Amino acid sequence: MTSRIKMALVMAVALAGMVLAATGLMDRALARAGLGELDRANHRYLDESYDSALEGFLVLSAVKSGLAVIEGSEVGIGFNLQVGDLVQSVYDYVDIAWKTVLAGGTILFMARLVLDGVALTDHLVMVLTFFCLLMLAAGRCFLPNRKGMAQFLRSITATCTLLTVLLYLVLPLSVYGASRLSERITRPLIQQSYDAFDQISRTFTPEGAEDHLGGDGKGASALETAIGVADRYERLKKRLQELEAYLSEQGKNLAGTTFQLIAAYLFDCVIFPLAFVAVLIIFLKGVPGYLTRAQRDRRLAETIRETARPVSTPSSNA
C-alpha cells in the first residue's frame, strides 16, 4: 500500500510537471532562478565574438585584396619584372588566417543558432520526460508484475532526463565556461592578431607597394634615359632587395600571428566548449553512482549494526 501511495504521488508530480512545462511556466520559473541571465550572457558573448570575427574577416579580406594587386604588379627597366614571388609567402599566411577566421565565425554563428534552437525545443523535451515518468509510475502502480516493461520505461525516462539536463544545464554552462576562459585567455590573443593584420592592411596597398618599388617603371625622364639601362637596373635591384628584406621580416611576423590566431580560435570554438561538456557529463554521470553507493553503504552499516546488536533472551523462572 505504501508503494502504491508513493507511485501515486510520483504520478501527480509528473502530471503537474507536464502541465507546467507545456504552458511555459516551468521555463519562466527557471529563468527567474538564474537560467535566464545565463542565456543572456551566452548570447551576448556569442554576438560579440561573431562581430569581432566579422571585423577580422573584413580586415583580412582587405589585406588579401592588396596582396593580390601587388602579386600582379610589374616593374620595368626596359623589360618587365614580376614581383608576385616576393609577396607569395605573405599572401599564404594571410590566406590561412582568412580561412581560420571564416571557420571560427561560422562556428560561432552555428553555436548561436543552436542556442536559439534549444530555447525553442527544450520545454518539449521536458514534457516528454515528465510523460515518461508518469508512464513509469503508472506501470509500477497498476502493472507491478511487468518487469520488462518497467525496465524499458526506466531506460527511456533516464535517457529523457539526461537529455533535459543537457539542454537546460550542460550546454548553457559549457558555453558560459568557454566564454569566461575566452575573455581571459584567447580573446586578447585574437585581438592582438587582428591589430597586427590591420597594420599589415595599411602597408600592403597598391600605394604602399609603389613606395617600396619606386617609380622606375613609369614614365622615365630624358635624364634617366640618358643614364642608361644599366644604372636603372642597379637602382631597381637595390629597391627590390629592400622590398625582399621587408617582406621577409613581415613574413616572420605574420607566421607567428597566424599560428597565434589559429590556436586561439581552436581553443575558443572547439576545445573549451567540448572540455566543459565532457567535464559536466562526467560529473552528472558520477552523481547518481555516488548517491547509489552512499545509500548502499548506509544500508550495509545499518545491517552490520543490527547484526552486532546483542539479542536479549527471556530470563528463565526459577
- Quick: pLDDT tens for 106-136: 888 888 888 888 888 888 999 999 999 888 8
Each domain of the chain, given as residue ranges in start order, spans 2-295
Strand partners, 75: 81
Confidence of residue 290 (pLDDT cuts 50, 70, 90): low
* Helix H or strand E encompassing 81: strand 80-82
**CA distances (Å), origin 244, targets 121, 149, 151, 239, 258:** 58, 77, 74, 9, 20
pLDDT digits (tens, 9 = 90+) for 189-241: 888 888 888 777 776 655 555 555 444 444 444 444 444 555 655 666 666 66
Question: Is pLDDT of 242 > 80?
Answer: no
Write down the pLDDT at residue 130.
92
Residue 77's pLDDT band (boundaries 50, 70, 90)? very low
4 or 104: whose pLDDT is higher? 104
Counting Cβ atoms within 10 Å, is residue 214 exposed (0-12), middle (13-18) or buried (19+)?
A: middle
User: Using CA atoms, how far apart are residues 35 and 176, in angstroms rounded to an integer?
Assistant: 11
> Which string of DSSP letters, residue by residue, matches 104-153?
HHHHHHHHHHHHHHHHHHHHHHHHHHHHHHHHHHHHHHH-TT-HHHHHHH
pLDDT in tens, 154-174: 888 888 888 898 889 888 888
pLDDT for 128:
92
